[in-house]
Chains A and B, each alone.
Chain A
Amino acid sequence: MKDMLEKIKAQALSELASENADTEAIRIRYLGKKGELTAVLRGMGALSAEERPVVGQLANEVRAAIEAALSAKVAEQKEKELNDRLAREKLDVTMPGAPARMGHQHPLTRAQREMEEIFIGMGFEIAEGPEVEYDYYNFQALNIPENHPARDTQDTFYITDNILLRSQTSPVQVRVMEQKKPPIRVISPGRVYRSDALDATHSPLFHQMEGLVVDKGITMSDLKGTLETFARKMFGERTQIRFRPHHFPFTEPSAEVDVSCFVCGGKGCRVCKGEGWIEILGAGMVHPFVLSNCGIDPTVYSGFAFGMGLERVTMTRYGIDDIRLFYENDERFLKQF
């Protein structure tokens, strides 16, 4: 009987060794209810009491061995089957992807959102105001009285004598100061209008982003620090800024602000026209006339304001040489952003 068991084991294992062994048939043949091993075990009743446990143990061993071999074979065959399938499923990865539509943000919106995020991170709110504006907010409240050289009808579009298309986003600052008490930290992005004929570098409509901070103890070095933080986040960590004296009626002192060229880092290149610096901002300390006009006591509070043109920043940044591209909206242009 022992021999028979050994023989069954050897036979089963040998059958399982073949590559295409039919595992289910083998299982039935040897381990099934009518299988060979079962048949042998049925004959155990004829054995003596001494032999029975020995043969029983052997029989269990044989069953375990066959079962182990069977499951190993099943696993092996499954793996092979999977591998074969995967091999058949191989794709040509160089074929183009199925088109998944993705919309593109307009480059001006992109620049605007980027700037907004930077200033929101510094505690600024976003203020909006009308584009068709009163002369008072666009000029008078900003220390630009009637017949001041800074306001030529040449530059401003008028609707009536008192209503115009805002030529700057600064009127929003005045509206904010009228409505809010310090601390004030706002930016006001938006469209502005100037009577410049459309060409590669001028547009009668463009976008500005202005900022305003009013509080106790605000200094000119705070202005520089704020703009430096902005410039670093916008143009890269190593960006430096430079202040040059200038004049704006609504700020005093005033400055034009250059950033070090983000292409050459200040050595001079085509983008910065060899100067190493790119002028992008106007800034200054809010004029006391403007503060007191808005009901803020300039002996208690001080503040700074700054402004920049979105088109200019975007054009410099991407090397866009024609402002008209922004408003033509050729999809081939839009898809690049």
Chain B
Amino acid sequence: MNLSMKWLADFVNVSDVNIQEYCDKLTLTGSKVEGYEVLGGEIENVVVARIKKIVPHPDSDHLLICTMDIGTGEDTQIVTGAQNVFEGAIVPAAIPVAKLPGGVTIKAGKLRGVPSNGMLCSMGELGLTAHECPGKEENGILILDECFADKIGTDIREALMLDDTAVEFEITSNRPDCLSVIGLARETAVSFDRALNIPTPAVKGACDGDDISNYLSVGIEAPDLCYRYAAKVVKNVRIQPSPMWLRMRLHAAGVRPINNIVDITNYVMLEYGQPMHAFDYTALDGSAIRVRRAADGEQFKSLDDTDHTLDSTMLVIADEKKACALAGVMGGANSEIRDETKTVVFESACFNGASVRVTAKKNGMRTESSARFEKGLDPENCYAGLMRACELVELLDAGDVVDGMIDVYPTKPTATVLPFEPARYNAFLGTDISEERMVEILEALGCCVANGEITVPSFRADLACMNDIAEEIMRIYGYDKIVSTKICAETTEGGRTPKQSFGVEVENALYGMGIDEIQTFSFISPKYYDKIRMPEDSARRRSVVISNPLGEDTSVMRTTALPSMLEVLARNANFNNENVRLFEMGSIYLPDADATKLPYEGKMLTLGMYGDADFYTVKGVIENLLGLAAITGARFEAVSDNSAYHPGRCARVLTADGTALGVFGQIHPLTAANYGVSLPLFAAELDFDAIFAARKAEKAYKPLPKFPAITRDFSFACDESLEVGRIMAVMQKAGGKLCEEVKLFDIYRGPQVGENKKSVSLRMTLRAEDHTMTMEDAEKVTRKVLVLLERELGLTLRA
């Protein structure tokens, strides 16, 4: 809402308040100011001037040399290229050094050798359009009417009433009453403790014996959508431009002037916050106006020449045959005010906010009118708005107001009455505001406080409970006067849940392992599933789908965090970042079979690496995390059928009881190629929820060993395909309780062992709890190890 300060002055006097102070104060009392604009503020040294004489330029066939009266008593010479000037014309003249909108500076100079002390201006050069200057030539110099004859030498801002300031307010949705000059005047008055003066509109009427009943009847057929419908008729309409003061006020408010009748409807909407509609009476079929639901499929062409197909949720203003307006949204092209319009119906109605909102949305037209109605307007305001419109008709001599009025008002709402509870407000706010001050504030806001009760004015439907009243008092008393106190109540424990704490612990461990954290979007493109080569029939291709996405790239909620990780790895590779190691702790969203239920949101820990990392780097990180979670007995199994990964370099992690904890490995070169990467990429997808579930919360303490250990080294040559893990498992089994650790310390491939063979060297640590291991003990175990290895895996010691 843009407020003209000149317009505001009609209702409250704050002429002594500096504009910045005004804006700050209104913001602090709850009407947020976004900024203000001094209209014509960029214009300097432009005056009303008269062209006394014109002679052609000696060296140009299109330049003219004008002798100007600029009100100083001394003539000056200005050269112009415009052809619409004539001797005696009154024009705006920029006198050096002058400034125009857009940072243009006008200095004295010469045009083809002839001195020019300034410039004659067009409306465009003054920042105006044909709407503010009706009937004037847009491309030539702005020729002012003869009524400016006594203003020669006057600053153009004053002469054209550009000397106004427009303050831009951001009005919250609960205060439709403040989408009006009067509403803001009330806020201004209470903020600065000034008198508020709202004159009652006075309409003389034609007094010719004619009556509205000769023209019109109105029936509300949908009282749930239309609470009140009031109308007046104006005859002998004289369509012409509005006077300059009115045009300039609309200009300040950011509304385009059209003609006197249309301007009046906009003026009243801005001043009273009551949207008005004016339509051509002669366009009506019959004299009965029906406020009814549209028929399904009913066709309607709006004022802006757009066709709409209506349905029965929408409300229309119709005559006997057709819809003439989409209630509260826009009028119809069929009853538009035209230059030849002679009889006009002014409508001032109140419609159901939600219905207007839905109708406007469905038809893709959010108008100044619908934006007000959708917030819920005061039906009481209809009458004042209608009277004000008629008063303006008479003031502007735009037509004759037919006596009588139509006012269909099925159910007058009852006023809201709330208890006046000063002590409760203070207790709730933590303040100590006097009862007198509270009453003063509430009454200045239009409430009536009497007998321990507050009667809320009809225009403040937002005041409905104790909190609302407390807020009104507080915002006017001053939010800055709220003191800060510490909560004085029952103590609470606070803190993280075990799962949250574990999450933080895991993250910290990952930072410690040199892995950077990333965050990626939860929504992805369904094409991402193709990029990671997810099988066509995979259940993970079924995602939670956004019905109104911004674009395909963000249209489904991800069921895997892998593609986002790969995308980030690829991006970093493109930036030539070396040796990148990343993790993301993020959610995946798995839809429920029942679409009315919420999806399962799982937490995934995703790792991604390239550069100085390989499969075992990732595995090492996972082993550390298993250690952190005190998960013992976890197994790693080769996976060859996960199409995102290298078939020979992929594994799944399982708990001892077979619960899957995740999958990891080298990314399949074809997957990597889908991201434009030729480097080996490594990733892990770990199910954080499963890891947390398998976690042992308390780590068990084992006394430190009292007796020394003995180590035994074993080297075997074996087939390349034999997994070291299997050898280690057999050794572990053979060693039983005495085997403290089996460790791989070397692996060798080469001519000595032969093709497709490898030499594996393992060190076994043996320790007894209750005595020092003897050579005999160790020998026994060693033998058992060798026997078992030979029996189960066919292995013999390397010679």
Residues on A facing B (Cβ under 8 Å): 100-106, 108-109, 113, 116, 119-126, 128, 130-134, 146-150, 152-153, 157-160, 162-163, 165, 183-185, 191, 193, 195, 197-198, 204-205, 213, 215-222, 224-226, 228-229, 242-247, 249, 252-256, 285, 287-288, 302, 326-332, 334-335
Name the segment of B88-96, B298-306, B594-602 touching the other chain: B594-602
B497 within 8 A of A: yes
Give chain A residues whose Cβ lies under 8 Å from the Cβ of B174. 247, 249
Question: In the complex, how many angstroms separate the beta carbon of B151 from the nearest chain A beta carbon?
Answer: 39
A225 touches B485 (CB 8 A): yes
B572 touches A329 (CB 8 A): yes
B490 touches A221 (CB 8 A): no
- Alpha-carbon distance A126/B490, docked complex (angstroms): 18
Contact among B429, B480, B495, B601 for A219, CB-based, below 8 A: B429
- Known interface pairs A147-B353, A147-B354; 11 further A-B residue pairs with C-beta atoms within 8 A, sorted by A's residue number: A113-B504, A123-B492, A126-B497, A131-B589, A215-B490, A225-B486, A225-B487, A243-B480, A246-B32, A252-B465, A332-B575
- Alpha-carbon distance A78/B358, docked complex (angstroms): 95
- Alpha-carbon distance A231/B352, docked complex (angstroms): 43
Give chain A residues whose Cβ lies under 8 Å from the Cβ of B587. 131, 191
Question: In the complex, how many angstroms separate the beta carbon of B68 from the nearest chain A beta carbon?
Answer: 42
- Alpha-carbon distance A111/B510, docked complex (angstroms): 18
Give chain B residues whose Cβ lies under 8 Å from the Cβ of A191. 522, 587
Give chain B residues whose Cβ lies under 8 Å from the Cβ of A222. 430, 485-488
B589 touches A219 (CB 8 A): no
B467 touches A252 (CB 8 A): yes
Interface residues of B in 471-488 (CB under 8 A from A): 471, 474-475, 479-480, 482-488
Contact among A121, A245, A329 for B520, CB-based, below 8 A: A329
A126 touches B598 (CB 8 A): no
B488 touches A217 (CB 8 A): yes
B431 within 8 A of A: yes
- Alpha-carbon distance A254/B29, docked complex (angstroms): 12
Contact among B375, B467, B571 for A149, CB-based, below 8 A: B375
Contact among A119, A165, A204, A287 for B467, CB-based, below 8 A: A287
Interface residues of B in 354-383 (CB under 8 A from A): 354, 357-358, 361, 374-375
Query: Which of the listed residues A157, A220, A329, A331 has the most CB atoms from chain B within 10 Å of its own CB?
Result: A329
Question: In the complex, how many angstroms separate the beta carbon of B8 from the nearest chain A beta carbon?
Answer: 20
Contact among B28, B514, B582 for A244, CB-based, below 8 A: B28
Contact among B32, B468, B519 for A106, CB-based, below 8 A: B519
B799 within 8 A of A: no
A327 touches B521 (CB 8 A): yes
B482 touches A335 (CB 8 A): no
A105 touches B511 (CB 8 A): yes
Complex A-B: 15 CB contacts under 8 Å: A103-B517, A104-B517, A132-B601, A153-B361, A157-B548, A157-B549, A204-B521, A215-B487, A221-B483, A226-B487, A246-B172, A247-B174, A249-B174, A256-B32, A330-B577
Give chain B residues whose Cβ lies under 8 Å from the Cβ of A163. 596, 598
A220 touches B514 (CB 8 A): no
Nearest first, the 10 A-B pairs at minimum CB distance are A101-B514, A221-B430, A253-B471, A219-B430, A245-B30, A247-B172, A147-B354, A103-B511, A225-B484, A252-B467
In the complex, what residue of chain A is closest to B510 when comparing beta carbons?
Answer: A103
Question: In the complex, how many angstroms separate the beta carbon of B641 from the nearest chain A beta carbon?
Answer: 30
Name the segment of B197-205, B409-417, B539-547, B677-685 touching the other chain: B539-547
A331 touches B516 (CB 8 A): yes
B513 touches A220 (CB 8 A): no
Would A185 and B492 be within 8 Å (CB), given that A106-B517, A213-B487, A225-B484 are in contact? yes
Would A331 and B492 be within 8 Å (CB), given that A130-B598, A147-B354, A243-B479 are in contact? no
Contact among A109, A121, A244 for B519, CB-based, below 8 A: A109
Question: In the complex, how many angstroms separate the beta carbon of A175 from the nearest chain B beta carbon?
Answer: 12
Would A132 and B544 be within 8 Å (CB), given that A185-B492, A217-B489, A252-B468 are in contact? yes
A149 touches B601 (CB 8 A): no
B568 within 8 A of A: yes
Give chain A residues whose Cβ lies under 8 Å from the Cβ of B519. 106, 108-109, 326-327, 329
B510 touches A330 (CB 8 A): no
B774 within 8 A of A: no
Give chain B residues whose Cβ lies under 8 Å from the Cβ of A184. 492
- Alpha-carbon distance A204/B374, docked complex (angstroms): 26
Contact among A106, A162, A197 for B518, CB-based, below 8 A: A106
A147 touches B27 (CB 8 A): no
Give chain A residues whose Cβ lies under 8 Å from the Cβ of B514. 100-103
Would A205 and B548 be within 8 Å (CB), given that A125-B494, A213-B487 are in contact? no
A224 touches B577 (CB 8 A): no
Give chain A residues whose Cβ lies under 8 Å from the Cβ of B549. 157
A332 touches B172 (CB 8 A): no
Contact among B496, B516, B568, B601 for A120, CB-based, below 8 A: B496
In the complex, what residue of chain B is closest to A256 when comparing beta carbons?
Answer: B32
- Alpha-carbon distance A125/B494, docked complex (angstroms): 4
Give chain A residues whose Cβ lies under 8 Å from the Cβ of B522. 131, 191, 193, 205
Question: In the complex, how many angstroms separate the beta carbon of A220 from the nearest chain B beta carbon?
Answer: 5
Interface residues of B in 555-582 (CB under 8 A from A): 557, 568, 571-572, 575, 577, 580-582
- Alpha-carbon distance A162/B596, docked complex (angstroms): 8
Residues on B facing A (Cβ under 8 Å): 27-30, 32, 172-175, 353-354, 357-358, 361, 374-375, 427-431, 465-468, 470-471, 474-475, 479-480, 482-497, 500, 504, 507, 510-523, 544-550, 554, 557, 568, 571-572, 575, 577, 580-583, 587, 589, 595-596, 598-599, 601
A130 touches B427 (CB 8 A): no
Would A331 and B546 be within 8 Å (CB), given that A216-B489, A220-B430, A221-B482 are in contact? no
B482 touches A224 (CB 8 A): yes
Give chain A residues whose Cβ lies under 8 Å from the Cβ of B511. 102-105
Give chain B residues whose Cβ lies under 8 Å from the Cβ of A102. 511-512, 514
Give chain B residues whose Cβ lies under 8 Å from the Cβ of A217. 427, 488-489
- Alpha-carbon distance A159/B591, docked complex (angstroms): 11
In the complex, what residue of chain A is closest to B569 when comparing beta carbons?
Answer: A329
- Alpha-carbon distance A327/B684, docked complex (angstroms): 20
Give chain B residues whose Cβ lies under 8 Å from the Cβ of A246. 30, 32, 172
A245 touches B598 (CB 8 A): no
A219 touches B427 (CB 8 A): yes
Question: In the complex, how many angstroms separate the beta carbon of A117 from the nearest chain B beta carbon?
Answer: 10
Contact among B358, B475, B544 for A159, CB-based, below 8 A: B544
B516 touches A126 (CB 8 A): no
Question: In the complex, how many angstroms separate the beta carbon of A303 from the nearest chain B beta carbon?
Answer: 10
B173 touches A160 (CB 8 A): no
B173 touches A132 (CB 8 A): no
Give chain A residues whose Cβ lies under 8 Å from the Cβ of B589. 131-132
- Alpha-carbon distance A246/B175, docked complex (angstroms): 11
Would A220 and B429 be within 8 Å (CB), given that A130-B601, A183-B489, A331-B577 are in contact? yes
In the complex, what residue of chain A is closest to B589 when comparing beta carbons?
Answer: A132
B494 touches A124 (CB 8 A): yes
- Alpha-carbon distance A335/B578, docked complex (angstroms): 13
Give chain B residues whose Cβ lies under 8 Å from the Cβ of A329. 518-520, 568, 571-572, 582
- Alpha-carbon distance A252/B488, docked complex (angstroms): 21
B482 touches A220 (CB 8 A): yes
Contact among A123, A148, A327 for B493, CB-based, below 8 A: A123
In the complex, what residue of chain B is closest to A334 when comparing beta carbons?
Answer: B516
- Alpha-carbon distance A198/B549, docked complex (angstroms): 12
Contact among B504, B580, B599 for A132, CB-based, below 8 A: B599
- Alpha-carbon distance A217/B430, docked complex (angstroms): 9
Would A121 and B470 be within 8 Å (CB), given that A149-B357, A243-B480, A331-B516 are in contact? no
B554 touches A219 (CB 8 A): no
B467 touches A125 (CB 8 A): no
Query: Which of the listed residues B175, B471, B474 has the most CB atoms from chain A within 10 Å of its own CB?
Result: B471
B374 touches A185 (CB 8 A): no
B484 touches A221 (CB 8 A): yes
Would A158 and B482 be within 8 Å (CB), given that A120-B494, A246-B30 are in contact? no
Give chain B residues whose Cβ lies under 8 Å from the Cβ of A104. 511, 516-517
Contact among A216, A221, A228, A244 for B27, CB-based, below 8 A: A244
